[in-house]
Amino acid sequence: MSDAEASCKKVNEWLEALPEFKNPSQVPFMNGLYFFYEDGETSGHSKNGRIVRIGNHPRKQNGLKKRLNITTGETRTAVYSGNFLAGAIMRREKPNNPCLLPGPGQGHWEKQDMHACEKCKPTENKVTDLLESNFRFRCLKIDDLALRNIMEEKLVATVSICPVCKPSEDWLGKYAYSEKVRSSGLWNSSYVFEAEKRLNAHDLKKLQELIGQTLHL
């Protein structure tokens, strides 16, 4: 077993101790990382499925619940950066959808800070419905902004290079424009496959400590 595989196994096993949520209002703190799980996606490292997204609120404090609230509209540009999820839905249903033009990652549903037009508003509803029905999440309390950002990088890097935690054949993410999403099985692009940032022994010890602190809130 490689170091990355062993580390990923520990990450998944330790996170399973944290409660699962469907609604951001259930989360008892305002700062931390979130880990999304998607129905139908499994992993040999977790009996309850594999991690499909690791996220953060990296620029400001007290933004965890807002970042997780899919009714605020931040889901498109934040929870699934670059709007990978909606673009994948469109590409699976209609590869030549005009809302994806002028090219991969450049359509107004995939480009940062762009807005839905009348033609693609039904996809906006599908994103919300899919997140509400097929996704659940766990949260790890990390108040320190710098530590939270570092742990996000290291966790994404570690999970993305794990040979065990890979997407199923019919995973929606295989229709995303980002090759990193398609290959890694994560709705992430930043820090994906950056092996030099993977968790080391010190990081794992800190992660275990943070999980323990979260459980004792």
Give 130-133's long-range contacts (Cβ < 8 A, gap of 24+): 130/85, 130/89, 131/70, 131/75, 131/79, 131/85, 132/22, 132/70, 133/39
**pLDDT of the residue at 86:** 83
Give me the number of domains the chain comprises: 1
Local structure of residue 114 (DSSP, 8 states): -
pLDDT given at position 182: 95
The predicted structure's pLDDT at residue 103: 85
Q: What is the mean pLDDT of each run of 10 residues along the chain (217 residues)?
A: 91 97 94 96 92 93 87 45 77 90 81 72 83 93 98 98 96 94 94 96 98 95
What per-residue confidence (pLDDT) applies to 112?
A: 60
Provide the whole-model pTM.
Answer: 0.92
Range of the domain at 97: 3-211
Flag whether 31 is in a domain. yes
pLDDT at 135: 92
**pLDDT for the residue 70:** 60
The residue behind tokens 């010190």 is 202
* Residue 216 maps to a domain: no
Indicate whether 175 belongs to any domain. yes
Which pLDDT does position 32 carry in this prediction? 98
Instruction: Note whether residue 40 is domain-resident.
Output: yes
Task: Give the model's pLDDT for residue 75.
Answer: 45
- Is the dihedral angle over the CA atoms 210, 211, 212, 215 positive or is it negative? positive
Q: Rounded to 5 degrees, what are φ and ψ at 92?
A: -70, -40
